């Protein structure tokens, strides 16, 4: 079993930046491919970004490309989502998702491609 814990988030103003993080633990050896999804009130959960377990591949949704950056610290099994130029429409609960390996279906942009999920962290962008 893999435990997934997000941290960060909160209230920020439009145009500002913030970083959220996610730590995965519980499986010896790691090799976690980790992604971010978000769900705004009244909307379905949508893909945001993903980073391959080795760190050499990333993929972003069109809505965040150029503004968000996903990175990882392999030693800590932690992934970060740096969010710049935030907009009110980025307001959502951000969920971290993890799959071990994940190399056969790159990029992993569908929820059912992930096996483990965090509880989510709220990011609210005000005008």
Please write the tens of the pLDDT for every residue from 8-36. Answer: 999 999 999 999 999 999 876 778 999 99
The CA radius of gyration of the chain, in Å to the nearest whole number, is: 14
pLDDT at 105: 84
| Interval 42-69: pLDDT, tens | 999 999 999 999 999 999 999 999 999 9
pLDDT band at 1 (very low <50, low <70, confident <90, very high): confident
What is the greatest pairwise CA distance in the chain? Answer: 44
Residue at token pair 């929820």: 111
Rounded to the nearest integer, the mean pLDDT of the chain is 95
pLDDT at 86: 98
pLDDT at 78: 96
């Amino acid at each position: 079993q893999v435990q997934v814990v997000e941290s960060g988030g909160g209230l920020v103003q439009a145009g500002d930046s913030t970083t959220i993080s996610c730590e995965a633990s519980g499986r010896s050896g790691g090799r976690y491919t980790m992604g971010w999804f978000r769900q705004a009130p009244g909307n379905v959960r949508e893909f945001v970004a993903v980073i391959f377990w080795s760190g050499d591949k990333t993929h972003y949704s069109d809505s965040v490309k150029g503004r968000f950056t996903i990175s990882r610290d392999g030693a800590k099994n932690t992934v970060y989502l740096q969010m710049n130029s935030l907009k009110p429409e980025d307001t959502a609960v951000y969920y971290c998702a993890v799959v071990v390996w994940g190399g056969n279906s790159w990029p992993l942009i569908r929820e059912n491609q992930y096996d483990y999920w965090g509880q989510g962290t709220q990011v609210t962008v005000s005008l």
